[in-house]
Chain A
Amino acid sequence: MTPDGLREGVLKEVGKVVVDRGREAELLLEALLARGHVLLEGVPGVSKTLLAKSFARCVDLGFRRVQFTPDMLPLDIVGGFIFNMKDRSFEFRKGPAFTNILLADEINRAPPKVQSALLESMQEGQVTVEGHTEPLPSPHMVIATQNPIEFQGVYPLPEGQLDRFMLKVVFAYPTNKTEAAIIGRNVLIDDDAIAVQNVVSSVEIAEAIRDVHSVKVSEEMLDYLARLGSATRNDGRVSLGVSPRAMVQLARCAQARAYLSRRDYLIPDDIQELSVEVLSHRIRLRQSIEITEESADAPTIIREIVDGVEPPR
């Protein structure tokens, strides 16, 4: 399957169910091909879960959904040892994390110990319980959804956990036109008439992941990435800049974007177009900035930093 076919196929299938979320669907595809995880943030009812479910349906990969709740335990996610009465021995029972695409719905409703149970699985692609290590299926992608932290009954994700997400995609409210289309689709069209088709096989996904990995990143582009990372750490408005891991994630995601644009090399546009989604959730602003300058949110500051760093030309 060509990169074009892959992209168009996924966007067409997701578009059957989710109105006007093409860019978000494309970001999910880029993260999957770059072996990253995605955090979808937005108020309830803006199609976060619907998008994640439709995306998972159009690729031929294992999919599990877990609704996170305040009374969850780590073993509800990664699994644990259960006593087998027949054999009179403990056996490891795999949790829902053992799948290709895990939808962690409302991740910030679960307490921190459950959130951190996902850390190893997201970073290492494996799970360790009581010294027993089990590899997860490959590829392994976590798509988590969360409500904004101002909402009641949520446990904010710590920086270490946030850093594991390659992308954070913020879902804004739809425009009036889009909202009318959403209402029309839900009221006028029978749900059963809409079926998302599986358009990409697991073999094709594996091949695409290999091709993405071989997209060329020139020495000058590496230098550009390093200068961008450094600029976030030297900006007076930022108290915590991005880590080298963040820049690795940005480079990988940009490789996927280049691949889907039918290029086997990275250009500065690939990096710039993804910098807000990859970097915004990894910086911490100085409190004085957050209090005094209303417009100075993290995405705006990232955009300004990127605008100030000259790419190789």
Chain B
Amino acid sequence: MNLDLVVLNVAAYGSLAAGLMQTRRQRSSGEAEISGAFPLLARSLRKALPELPAGFTWRQGISAAKGLELKLRWDEIDKAVAEYEAYRYGGRPAPEPSQPEVMRLVEALKRRHQ
């Protein structure tokens, strides 16, 4: 009887701990990805737009990139930047790790720089 209870407890707490660890792993990998995509964007902006000052902000950088008339979905990029700002400066949860439109902007800036 007691042994059954012990086994049941181990199984219940074990699955709970495993679930928690998986959530933490997913969260930290999402954060790592997101915090990897935006520094990449910052570097691309700096290289493709050398007239940007060292103190440029995300909004200034995106606004300058819009001036290049690249064919991208800017509303999605604006939304992604706003979510990233909320995460970065406001302590909100990390945005979606995959940011296809932001990565398309990075690629477009890279091509322009080359």
A residues with CB within 8 A of B: 216, 218, 220-221, 263-269, 272, 306-313
Instruction: Give A311 to B88 CA distance when docked, in angstroms.
Output: 12
Which of A265, A269, A313 has the most chain B CB within a 10 Å cutoff? A313
Closest 8 pairs between A and B when the two form their complex, measured CB to CB:
A265-B90, A307-B53, A268-B57, A307-B55, A269-B57, A265-B89, A309-B55, A313-B42
Instruction: Confirm or deny: B85 has a beta carbon within 8 angstroms of a beta carbon on chain A.
Output: yes
Q: Are A265 and B86 in contact (CB under 8 A)?
A: yes
Instruction: Give A54 to B38 CA distance when docked, in angstroms.
Output: 44
B residues with CB within 8 A of A: 38-39, 42, 53-55, 57-60, 85-86, 88-91
Instruction: Give A310 to B39 CA distance when docked, in angstroms.
Output: 13
6 A-B contacts (beta carbon < 8 Å): A216-B89, A218-B89, A220-B89, A308-B54, A308-B55, A310-B54
Q: Are A310 and B55 in contact (CB under 8 A)?
A: yes
Closest to B52 in A: A307
Which applies to chain B's interface (DSSP): helix, strand, loop or mixed? helix
Closest to A305 in B: B55
**B84: min CB distance to chain A, Å:** 9
Residues from chain B with Cβ under 8 Å of A307 in the complex: 53-55
Residues from chain A with Cβ under 8 Å of B89 in the complex: 216, 218, 220-221, 265-268, 312
Residues from chain A with Cβ under 8 Å of B60 in the complex: 269
The A-B contact count (CB < 8 A) is: 49
A267 and B57 in contact (CB under 8 A), knowing A218-B91, A313-B38?
Answer: yes
Residues from chain A with Cβ under 8 Å of B90 in the complex: 216, 218, 263-265
**B97: min CB distance to chain A, Å:** 18
Residues from chain A with Cβ under 8 Å of B85 in the complex: 267
Residues from chain B with Cβ under 8 Å of A263 in the complex: 86, 90
A306 and B55 in contact (CB under 8 A), knowing A221-B89, A265-B86, A313-B38?
Answer: yes
Which of B39, B89, B91 has the most chain A CB within a 10 Å cutoff? B89
**B88: min CB distance to chain A, Å:** 7
Instruction: Give A194 to B85 CA distance when docked, in angstroms.
Output: 42
Instruction: Give A266 to B89 CA distance when docked, in angstroms.
Output: 7
Instruction: Give A264 to B86 CA distance when docked, in angstroms.
Output: 9
A313 and B39 in contact (CB under 8 A), knowing A218-B89, A221-B89, A265-B89?
Answer: yes
Given A265-B86, A307-B53, A307-B54, 14 extra CB contacts under 8 A: A218-B89, A265-B90, A267-B85, A268-B57, A268-B89, A269-B57, A308-B53, A308-B54, A308-B55, A309-B54, A310-B54, A311-B55, A311-B57, A313-B42
Closest to A307 in B: B53
Residues from chain B with Cβ under 8 Å of A308 in the complex: 53-55
Closest to A215 in B: B90
Q: Are B54 and A312 in contact (CB under 8 A)?
A: no
Closest to B53 in A: A307
A272 and B55 in contact (CB under 8 A), knowing A313-B38, A313-B39, A313-B42?
Answer: yes
**A235: min CB distance to chain B, Å:** 14
Instruction: Give A221 to B88 CA distance when docked, in angstroms.
Output: 10
Instruction: Give A269 to B86 CA distance when docked, in angstroms.
Output: 13
Instruction: Give A306 to B56 CA distance when docked, in angstroms.
Output: 9
> Of A216, A265, A269, which is within 8 A of B59 by CB?
A269
Instruction: Give A263 to B42 CA distance when docked, in angstroms.
Output: 23
**B79: min CB distance to chain A, Å:** 15
Residues from chain B with Cβ under 8 Å of A272 in the complex: 55, 57
Residues from chain A with Cβ under 8 Å of B39 in the complex: 313
Closest to B85 in A: A267
**A278: min CB distance to chain B, Å:** 16
**A218: min CB distance to chain B, Å:** 5
Instruction: Give A37 to B10 CA distance when docked, in angstroms.
Output: 64
Residues from chain A with Cβ under 8 Å of B91 in the complex: 216, 218, 265
Closest to B60 in A: A269
Instruction: Give A312 to B85 CA distance when docked, in angstroms.
Output: 10
Residues from chain B with Cβ under 8 Å of A306 in the complex: 55
Instruction: Give A34 to B42 CA distance when docked, in angstroms.
Output: 32
